Structure 1
Amino acid sequence: MDSFMETMEQDTSGVLGHLMALERGGMGRQKQHDSQRSETLKARAVTLRAKRDQLKHHTDVVKTLKDKIVKGLPLRDEDAAADGFVELQKSLLTAWRMQLKDLQRAHHLIGNFAPVKSHRAHCHCRSIVPSLSGGYDLVECKDGKSACVSFHTAFEGVRLETYSVELDLTRAVQISRHNVPPSFPLESLAKRTLQKDLKAFLQTLSQNLNALAARRRQVCLLKELVGSVEVMESNQLCSVLVLMCTAQSEAPKAVLCTLEYGDLAQCLPTRVSIECEDKVLSGSPQWKKNQSLLLESPAHTALLTMRRMGSIS
């Protein structure tokens, strides 16, 4: 019995020893595999960090170049030679072209075209021009390197001036040529919105040019009024208009009406003041009503209404 147990212990220890040896061998290979995998991951992490730093540097360079191009700042030789400069310039040009094409397509799709009369007295034909809701046309030129925008203006169904602005797209969206009046704040408007939002710039410029043409047209119509209305003062932007009227009373009295157009995008004044040596007259309910009329209606229309009401002669 004792010899049988000894034999079993010897066999068991041999099997266990073999198993333990196999386990130790497997653990060793696992450790070696884990070590190799760890080294591979470390090397990959180093490579990825290097690529990350390279991409970060490239992104910073591209961002700096884009800011310079958009702001129209001069570029140095090393800027033009930087990686990605040509691709950036091409992508910006493509983006501006696509935006202009989208604006042109949308403009022609939603712009309502209304028949308006020519302002020339001898011309009785009717022309088709864009309505006030779609006051400009856009055409690509110079193989897409620039775009010409024509701003049509009209007032009370009468076609007025057309202004043109050429936009240079070779580096950044910049105004290269235009026939907008020198007194018009085109440069300040471009600085505020041209680079940030091209659509907003075109819409704002169209609205302001149309309002300018409408105010100028009102001055012309006022000068044509026969009677006791005289245009005393008007600046180039027609942002201030001073009228001298003769009030109907027992003794004719001069009334000075000053119209101030604080919002250049509108053709109606934002402030109207009435002055007269007769303070009772200028402060009367009738002239308070006339003041409101000048605020709510075009100047020539308001004065014709005041004449029909008997306020002025």
Structure 2
Amino acid sequence: MLDILAETRAISTPQSDQVDVRTTLLKERVKTLQDILGAYHFTGISAKVRELNSTNTFCISTAYEGIYLDSYYLDIQMQHPRKIISHNIPAFIPLEQTAHTHLQQDLLRFMDVLRDALNAYASRRYQVEQLQKLHTASLIGQLQRNAAYNVLKFRYQILCGDMEQDVQVKVVYRHLACYLPTGVTLTCSGADAESVNAKLDCHRQLFEKMELYRVFDSLKLQEELAVSSGIHSTLHSSHTPSCQ
């Protein structure tokens, strides 16, 4: 669909009525394409279409639950073979591989794949920032992560009987387009395996199904309910699932 942008470069001063017609048709097609890209902007992708220039600027905006995060730009030469002239895409995003697979055949698919990876990265980073902002007191030491925020390591404490035990967490997102973990490992050294296993399994399920900071929201809420309900939480524990 975007191929028509490259065609405009080949148009010179009209020499005949036939060229005039071709120019008019191409301008109409570019106007239609601009309208389509305007609608596509709601997906987080927009473009500056330059009618007589074969290089166009594309913008990918990232957001998390309606909160704007970042924007990334690519200047793409539209004439075949298409070529990325400049960009600010992070190095860990496989831009060259994605371009090799999609850029020449389907430009919109190429942009979709990039948008998914960039949006997931921005979402993972936002989750870590919120975790550190809202639950600093729950974490022990520094959270470790890589540039793509798809491998995270941190520690927090759980109560086992009358003793507090450190839990070491490793969270992995095996695909760059994931915003929820695909692998979670929890280890608690120095604690009796039988007494802590059920609790760790419950925590693991929360990490796999919820955003990082919301896991600690949930654990904090359960802790507050357990404290406030006192003896009643024990009497009804068989009816109310809890990770405490």
TM above 0.5 = yes
- Give the deviation of 1:169 after TM superposition: 2.0
- Give the deviation of 1:184 after TM superposition: 2.0
Distance change in 2, residues 1:281/1:154 (3 Å): farther
The equivalent of 1:42 in structure 2 is none
Aligned residues: 202
**Following superposition of structure 1 onto structure 2, how do residues 18-167 of structure 1 map, counting pairs within 5 Å?**
93-94=6-7, 104-109=34-39, 130=42, 134-141=43-50, 143-167=52-76
Distance 2:159 2:31 in 1: 58
Can you list the C-alpha shifts for 1:66-105, whole angstroms capped at 9, x where unaligned?
xxxxxxxxxxxxxxxxxxxxxxxx9893299989876653
**Following superposition of structure 1 onto structure 2, how do residues 221-240 of structure 1 map, counting pairs within 5 Å?**
221-224=130-133, 225-230=135-140, 231-240=142-151
Can you list the C-alpha shifts for 1:30-85, whole angstroms capped at 9, x where unaligned?
xxxxxxxxxxxxxxxxxxxxxxxxxxxxxxxxxxxxxxxxxxxxxxxxxxxxxxxx
- Normalising by structure 2, we get a TM-score of 0.73
1:261 aligns with 2:157: no
Can you list the C-alpha shifts for 1:154-208, whole angstroms capped at 9, x where unaligned?
1122110111111012442111111111222211211121112211111111111
RMSD: 3.0
Can you list the C-alpha shifts for 1:181-238, whole angstroms capped at 9, x where unaligned?
1222211211121112211111111111111111111111121123122453100011
User: Which consecutive residues of structure 2, in runs of 5 or more, have no partner in the other structure?
Assistant: 11-25, 224-241
Tell me the percent identity: 24
The one-letter amino acid paired with 2:95 is L
The equivalent of 2:214 in structure 1 is 301
The equivalent of 1:194 in structure 2 is 103
- Give the deviation of 1:246 after TM superposition: 0.8
Preserved contact between residue 136 and residue 151 of structure 1 (Cα < 8 Å) = yes
- Give the deviation of 1:151 after TM superposition: 0.6
1:242 aligns with 2:242: no
Distance 1:275 1:243 in 2: 11
- Give the deviation of 1:110 after TM superposition: 5.9
Bigger fraction of residues in helix: 1
Aligned-partner SS, 1:307: helix
Preserved contact between residue 93 and residue 117 of structure 2 (Cα < 8 Å) = no
Distance 1:147 1:192 in 2: 20
Higher RCO (CA-CA < 8 Å; seq separation 6+): 2
Can you list the C-alpha shifts for 1:265-304, whole angstroms capped at 9, x where unaligned?
12111111111112335521x3212111111111111122
The equivalent of 1:77 in structure 2 is none
